[in-house]
């Protein structure tokens, strides 16, 4: 078994933004000599998330609308006295900060309609994600 780690920068341009990173992660997979295993994608930030879902414009907008309805941006959150981004923290908790996926032959083993997304919740920013690849 081998383990390979890489850190990747992701730039975002909006406060809330869904970035499809499937192709970026598969490019990294192609640079290693592992044929199969598990890859973990971890956001190093508490106001962002990593999710798997369908890459369809209306669905991505629906997710943004649902996050706003569940955790409105302009509420009287206690944490806002420090950073004014409590909604981003709570949304990140709900979505989750990492995903572990199987891979084979340089490709993520995703379902037909699945894509991997980095979700910015407090942008725009430059973010770092840690990719850990384990396999043989």
Q: Give pLDDT, residue 74.
A: 87
Pair 106, 26: CB distance under 8 Å: yes
Reduced to 3 states (helix: H, G, I; strand: E, B; else coil), residue 112 is coil
- The range of the structural domain enclosing residue 128 comes to 2-135
Q: Give pLDDT, residue 106.
A: 85
- Report the run of H or E that residue 113 belongs to, with start and end: none
CATH of the domain at 97: 2.60.120.460
* Ramachandran region, residue 96 (left: φ > 0; alpha: ψ -120 to 50; beta: rest): left
Nearest partner of 77 among 89, 94, 65, judged by Cα: 89
Q: Give pLDDT, residue 35.
A: 93
What are the average pLDDT values for consecutive 10-residue runs of the chain, which has 136 residues? 96 98 96 95 98 98 98 94 96 98 95 98 98 97
Number of domains in the chain: 1
Dihedrals phi, psi of 105, to nearest 5 degrees: 50, 45
- Give the C-alpha separation, 103 to 35, whole Å: 8
Q: Give pLDDT, residue 121.
A: 98
Pair 100, 38: CB distance under 8 Å: yes
Q: Give pLDDT, residue 28.
A: 95
């Amino acid at each position: 078994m081998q383990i390979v780690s890489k850190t990747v920068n992701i730039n975002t341009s909006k406060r809330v933004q869904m970035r499809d990173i499937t192709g970026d992660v598969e490019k990294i997979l192609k640079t290693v000599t592992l044929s199969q295993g598990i890859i973990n994608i971890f956001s190093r930030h508490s106001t962002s998330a990593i999710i798997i879902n369908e890459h369809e414009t209306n669905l991505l907008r629906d997710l943004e609308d649902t996050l706003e309805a569940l955790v409105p941006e302009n509420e009287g959150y206690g944490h806002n006295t420090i950073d004014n981004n409590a909604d981003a923290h709570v949304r990140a908790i709900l979505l989750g900060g990492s995903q572990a996926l199987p891979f084979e032959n340089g490709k993520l083993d995703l379902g037909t309609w699945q894509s991997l997304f980095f979700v910015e919740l407090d942008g725009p920013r430059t973010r770092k994600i840690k990719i850990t690849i384990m396999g043989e």
